[in-house]
Amino acid sequence: MPTQVKEGVVSTALLKLPSHEVSLPLVEGTEREQAIDITSLRSDTGCITLDSGFSNTGACESGITFIDGEKGILRYRGYPIEELANHSTFVEVAWLLIWGELPTAEQLASFRRLLSDYELLHEGMRHHFEGFPANGHPMAMLSAVINACGCYYPELLETRINDEQFRRACAILVSKVRTMAAFSYRMTYGKPMMYPDPKLSYCSNFLHMMFSNPHARYDAPPAVVKALRQFLILHADHEQNCSTSTVRMVGSSGANVFASVASGVCALWGPLHGGANMAVIEMLERIREGGESVKSIVEKAKRKQFLLMGFGHRVYKNFDPRAQILEKTCGELLDELGTSDPLLDIARELAEIALTDEYFVERKLYPNVDFYSGIILRAIGLPLNMFTVMFAIGRIPGWIAHWYELSRDPTARIARPRQIYTGPTERHYVPMDQRVAGSTGSGA
């Protein structure tokens, strides 16, 4: 069957199989990265592709974020991350990611109003927090409560919600996630819940909900607000990472935006992804407490007994531009607060040793976004188990943007990968009295 020529096709690639040859379209993106379109591969050849961890697989076409891992480039909707981190606000970046353009003053003001309208939690939802055990992990609470939004806004549970409904869903998620995160923290520490203050900026409002007390209001120092703003902007999207791909995969079944985003929180939790920011601090603490030296950690990593947390990236093979910005922010924040953190000195020592070691140089392993971010979060006063929650707050706009892009893509199909089966070939049921240990299962 002839392969249909698609938009963006620049040439064809020839695939030679033992039995025959097939010609596959070569497509190109706006930044000239190329892909072999294998949509017709199985029907043309009977073969599928095998790509563990999807390192070589483009799961979609997307106009949201561009990364050039070799050159250390990250752009949201074409805008360099460095410019956004220095000049933009988190709310503006959220708008940019979701709707594709920087907002006008009017659009931004109306979105801010909508965020204020939705910053409170329904009292019923507030009670969920009281039902969780005090030592429950805030990531578990966050994913559960985001998903529970579907119970409070049943009119937003469709895949094809209209534009006005979608704007509301965005405001609910972007705004309430702060309140949910702050409530989970307050509940864990047995502190009274602090309600949001609509007069405050996005970041200041979150810090107020976290750290104010009924008779002692916390006014965050400007350096803290700036560091948090940069942290959130730098985490706002990162194209097809594990959690975003999860959101797209769940969304591809037609699942609503709350369920899809909640699945992103779950995927983010693991230490290889968003959970790395906690793991980095645990590693640095171990070194500081004398449990391990910098040198021995590096040697263990080289012997594959340990992963150097906050190092390495699937896409960045030169440097992670987010880590560069955050290292600077980290130093500035500590200076402006007039404090120091021994973990920053240990992190810098570790980075220096690793960056000159042949093992790390050969494998192009560099500090990633999680390497310095934890030190910033510590300086802000956040406890360790809230670190990945902070990553999630930042990533909400990216997850929403990808869900929306997918929901509006007329060519999108349910995500349903295939596999190469390696289990037993056909065999027949053995009655219980004829089974011997090991012959019908694990033998355990």
Contact residues toward ligand CMC (CB under 6 A) are 53, 241, 272-274, 276, 301, 304, 307-314, 363, 365, 368-370
Least separation in angstroms between residue 289's CB and ligand CMC is: 21
Q: Residue written as tokens 């460095």? A: 82
Beta bridge partner(s), residue 67: 74
Q: Among the options 128, 238, 313, 402, which is catalytic?
A: 313
Q: At what angle do helices 163-188 and 387-407 cross, to 10 degrees?
A: 170
Least separation in angstroms between residue 235's CB and ligand CMC is: 9
Question: Distances in Å between the alpha carbon of 243 and those of 138, 268, 272, 346, 407?
Answer: 17, 5, 11, 30, 17
Minimum CB distance to ligand CMC smaller for 196 or for 264: 264
Least separation in angstroms between residue 308's CB and ligand CMC is: 4
Active site residue 320: no
Query: E strand or H helix at 15, and its extent?
Result: strand 9-16
Q: Using CB atoms within 10 Å of the CB of residue 68, give its burial: 0 to 12 exposed, 13 to 18 middle, 19+ buried.
A: middle
Q: Residue written as tokens 């027949």? A: 428
Q: Among the options 44, 237, 341, 370, which is catalytic?
A: 370
Cβ atoms of 121 and 179 closer than 8 Å: yes
SS3 341: coil
Q: Using CB atoms within 10 Å of the CB of residue 293, give its burial: 0 to 12 exposed, 13 to 18 middle, 19+ buried.
A: exposed
Minimum CB distance to ligand CMC smaller for 226 or for 300: 300
Question: In this chain, which residue has its C-beta nearest to ligand CMC?
Answer: 312
Active site residue 313: yes
Least separation in angstroms between residue 359's CB and ligand CMC is: 7
Nearest-5° angle of CA 188, CA 191, CA 192?
Answer: 125
d(CA 271, CA 280) in angstroms, rounded, equals 9
Minimum CB distance to ligand CMC smaller for 341 or for 370: 370
Least separation in angstroms between residue 139's CB and ligand CMC is: 13
Least separation in angstroms between residue 331's CB and ligand CMC is: 21
Minimum CB distance to ligand CMC smaller for 274 or for 398: 274
d(CA 280, CA 288) in angstroms, rounded, equals 12
User: Which strands sit side by side in the sheet containing 34-36, from one edge to the other?
Assistant: 9-16, 21-28, 34-36
Minimum CB distance to ligand CMC smaller for 99 or for 360: 360
Minimum CB distance to ligand CMC smaller for 273 or for 286: 273
> Where in the sequence numbering do the catalytic residues fall?
313, 370
